[in-house]
């Protein structure tokens, strides 16, 4: 696993350089979800493929930016599912973005994820690595080396809310719950980039990130394999919870297709328990 994390460190430095110096414009292509790809999406995907191909332990690559899974080493043990550049829509305003890597042993489904690595490209480069059930490690790239920062551990309750999706299309129970949190003194923290928004909640010790099913997108927007399951592992490892709209653990998801999405909620225990009761699902 350390070899994979080391390769992600190399990838992080290459993508950070790309973001700082590359062309920020659109390509002529759309990905499997129908989003027009940025040239940065395509180039980040190429960097990741190039670096991960060097690892014999990887059987298959599944990228948000590729239509189909790409087998690379028949004898490999892991399936790497990744979002090369999360937050493409906020690159033009110069906000933080990230890359997300879910490391699955065998078939890509929730129960098979063994580790997550994600990177944040902000004023500094950061990387978080998490193994199932172990407190996630956070590092920051300073002066040519990756310096350790305190591990990520959530308090039972936080103060921040990151409410995704178009509010006009929220369900009444979702709106009522989010309103109740603001009524209780929670503060809004939402950039439109899942990786930096979840990172903020993890670093600040708790809160709620929600990307619900809405009347226009009943299955939400965020992709199970590349975004949702990897962060579910991190939140549970940090002492929080990660569930869907039925109160099921996101780590139990079984995608039918690599690009399937799901409503998703990540947070500390108090906020997720409150959400379950607002949605009327089993505690
Ligand atoms: P991307 O991988 O194409 O950047 O899409 C995912 C992003 C998430 O980072 C973020 O939470 C979400 O899309 C925001 O979407 P929207 O602005 O459509 O609500
Ligand atoms: Mg994304």
CATH number at residue 26: 3.30.540.10
Structural domains counted in the chain: 2
pTM of the predicted structure, to 2 decimals: 0.96
- Domain termination site, one of 80, 114, 149: 149
Q: Quick one: 41 and 179 in the same domain? A: no
Q: Quick one: 171 and 66 in the same domain? A: no
Ligand 1 test: best mutation among 29, 36, 39, 86, most atoms within 8 Å of CB? 86
| 154 lies in some domain | no
Angle subtended by helix axes 172-183 and 269-279, to nearest 10 = 140
Q: Quick one: 53 and 171 in the same domain? A: no
Give one DSSP letter per residue of the chain, joined into a string: -HHHHHHHHHHHHHHHHHHHHS--SEEEEE-TTSPEEEHHHHHHHHHHHHHHTT-TTEEEEEETTSSS-EE--TT--EEEEEEEEETGGGTTTT--EEEEEEEEESS-SGGGEEEEEEEEESSSEEEEEEETTSPPEEEEEETTEEEEEPPP---SS-SEEEE-S-GGG--HHHHHHHHHHHHTT-EE---S-HHHHHHHHHHTT-EEEEE---SS-TT-SSBIIIIIHHHHHHHHHTT-EEE-TTS-BGGG---SSTT-B--EEEE-HHHHHHHHHHHT---
Q: Quick one: 189 and 60 in the same domain? A: no
User: How many Å lie between the centroid of ligand 1 and the Cα of residue 256?
Assistant: 21
Look at residue 279 in the predicted model and tell me its pLDDT: 97
Look at residue 283 in the predicted model and tell me its pLDDT: 76
- Domain termination site, one of 100, 128, 149: 149
User: How many Å lie between the centroid of ligand 2 and the Cα of residue 235?
Assistant: 17
Pairing type for strands 187-188 and 160-163 reads parallel
Q: Quick one: 94 and 177 in the same domain? A: no
Ligand 1 test: best mutation among 26, 192, 209, 220, most atoms within 8 Å of CB? 192
Q: Quick one: 141 and 14 in the same domain? A: yes
| 155 lies in some domain | no
Which residue's CA is the closest to the ligand 1 atom numbered 18? 165
- Domain that includes residue 196, residue range: 160-279
Question: Please, are residues 5 and 129 in contact by the beta-carbon 8 Å criterion?
Answer: yes
Check if 137 has its Cβ closer than 6 Å to any atom of ligand 1: no
Domain with residue 268: its CATH number is 3.40.190.80
Check if 193 has its Cβ closer than 6 Å to any atom of ligand 1: yes
Q: Quick one: 164 and 260 in the same domain? A: yes
Q: Quick one: 50 and 94 in the same domain? A: yes
Averaged over successive runs of 10 residues, the pLDDT of the chain (283 residues) comes to 96 96 82 81 95 98 95 97 94 96 96 98 98 96 97 98 97 98 98 98 98 96 97 98 98 96 98 97 82
Look at residue 153 in the predicted model and tell me its pLDDT: 98
Q: Quick one: 41 and 133 in the same domain? A: yes
Q: Quick one: 166 and 247 in the same domain? A: yes
User: How many Å lie between the centroid of ligand 1 and the Cα of residue 145?
Assistant: 30
Q: Quick one: 177 and 243 in the same domain? A: yes
User: How many Å lie between the centroid of ligand 1 and the Cα of residue 165?
Assistant: 9
| 260 lies in some domain | yes
SS3 state of residue 27: strand
In ligand 1, the atom with minimum distance to the C-alpha of 164 is: 19
In ligand 1, the atom with minimum distance to the C-alpha of 31 is: 3
């Amino acid at each position: 696993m350390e070899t994979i994390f080391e390769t992600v460190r190399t990838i992080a430095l290459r993508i950070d350089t790309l973001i700082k110096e590359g062309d920020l414009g659109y390509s002529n292509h759309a990905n499997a979800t129908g989003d027009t790809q940025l040239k940065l999406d395509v180039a980040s995907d190429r960097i990741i493929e190039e670096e991960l191909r060097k690892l014999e332990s990887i059987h298959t690559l599944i990228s948000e930016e590729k239509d189909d899974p790409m087998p690379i080493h028949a004898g490999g043990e892991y399936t790497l599912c990744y979002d090369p550049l999360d937050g493409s829509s906020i690159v033009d305003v110069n906000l933080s973005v990230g890359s997300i890597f879910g490391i699955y042993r065998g078939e890509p489904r929730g129960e098979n994820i063994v580790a997550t690595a994600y990177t944040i490209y902000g004023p500094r480069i950061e990387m978080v690595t998490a193994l199932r059930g172990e407190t996630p490690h956070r590092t920051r790239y300073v002066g040519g080396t990756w310096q350790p920062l305190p591990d990520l551990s959530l308090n039972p309750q936080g103060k921040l809310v990151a409410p995704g999706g178009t509010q006009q299309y929220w369900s009444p129970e979702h709106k009522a719950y989010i309103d109740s949190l603001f009524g209780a003194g929670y503060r809004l923290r939402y950039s439109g980039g899942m990786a930096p928004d979840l990172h903020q909640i993890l670093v600040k010790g708790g809160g709620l990130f929600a990307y619900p099913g809405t009347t226009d997108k009943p299955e939400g927007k965020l992709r199970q394999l590349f975004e949702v399951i990897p962060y579910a592992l991190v939140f549970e490892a940090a002492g929080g919870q990660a569930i869907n709209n039925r109160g099921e653990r996101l780590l139990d998801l079984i995608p039918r297709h690599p690009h399937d999405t799901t409503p998703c909620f990540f947070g500390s225990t108090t906020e997720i328990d409150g959400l379950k009761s607002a949605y009327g699902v089993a505690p």
